[in-house]
Amino acid sequence: MIRILVTDGMAKSAVKRLEELGFEVVTQFFEPEALAEQVKTFDALVVRSATKVRKPVLDAAAETGRLKLIIRGGVGVDNIDVSYANEKGIEVKNTPNASSASVAELAIGHLFAVARNLAFANVSMRNGAWEKKACTGVEIYGKTLGLIGFGRIGAETAKRAKALGMKVIYTNRSGPKVEAEEYSWVSMDELLAEADFISLHLPAGKDAQPLINQENIAKMKDGVCIINTARGVLVDEEALLEALENGKVAAAGLDVYQEEPVKNLRLCSHPKVSVTPHIGASTAEAQEHIGEEIVEHIVRRFCVQ
């Protein structure tokens, strides 16, 4: 029997479907050392963002050679050493289509939150205050949204921003996209200088260096707002805090952090920051779609030869 290990959870409907197809599904999280032992007895491993699949785990899996497939339920695969897995004969897949709309909607949600000071207004009213003057915000209509990264989530965010009357510019590693002619491709420096709102939509990359750092913040407009629903490592949190304090950055909306669960209390309690606990794909619809894509990958690998 083909055995599937699911370490970070999966939609119940997907588990049920796999079991109906004759697969054995084990849903349990393991710390790295224990995971290295467990993968020796499974044919496929399904993870989200919490489980890191690095060389020690892959070396352990290679000892028995049983593990043939790793699936990341989500868009990026930066928590998996993909090239090393491939060297060991292990295929790596993700579910790029499943959560794009959900993450894009959260990015827009944070955009509204920072434009209208919703986080501060909510907390202050719960504390019995009536801070009407302090909650004066800005309209997003007519403003420029700069998207750094223009994959599926970036494209979905652009559609929603355009519908709200925003001008959308974007930059990416591969250059202008034919299917994105209604938006303007610009260089990174141009985007930093022109955007009123900047939203990140790209993976962390191998070097894992912050993109939003002191140098790049200095190139931005005064009063810019920054949204990050991509990867926490993309933002230098201390540089962001400094910019929030001196007014260079007006506000920030964050769903991801350098360390999760987040321990930077200065950042997540800052009155100019809207925060959520990495819930970009946490919608009922996204979870169902992710489960469906996972099932498709597993069936294609083990049932269709």
Both 157 and 32 in one domain: the answer is no
Both 76 and 131 in one domain: the answer is no
- Residue 238 is part of a domain; what is its CATH number? 3.40.50.720
CA atoms within 13 A on the CB side of 128: 0
Model confidence, pTM: 0.88
Q: Between β-strands 144-148 and 197-200, what pairing exists: parallel, antiparallel or unpaired?
A: parallel
Structural domains counted in the chain: 2
Both 199 and 260 in one domain: the answer is yes
Q: What are phi and psi of 4, to 5 degrees?
A: -115, 125
- pLDDT tier for residue 278 given thresholds of 50, 70 and 90: very high
d(C-alpha 108, C-alpha 114), whole Å: 10
- What is the predicted pLDDT for the residue at 207? 66
Both 156 and 196 in one domain: the answer is yes
Both 109 and 230 in one domain: the answer is yes
pLDDT at 205 over 80: no
Q: Which residues are the active-site residues?
A: 231, 260, 278
pLDDT tens sequence across 143-184: 999 999 999 999 999 999 999 999 999 999 899 998 899 999
pLDDT tens sequence across 67-124: 999 999 988 788 999 999 999 999 999 998 889 999 999 999 999 999 999 999 999 9
Domain membership of residue 202 as a residue range: 100-275
Helix runs in 247-302, H state only: 265-268, 284-302
In the 8-state DSSP scheme, what is residue 221? P
Both 148 and 252 in one domain: the answer is yes
Both 139 and 269 in one domain: the answer is yes
- What is the predicted pLDDT for the residue at 241? 98
Both 245 and 131 in one domain: the answer is yes
Both 62 and 150 in one domain: the answer is no
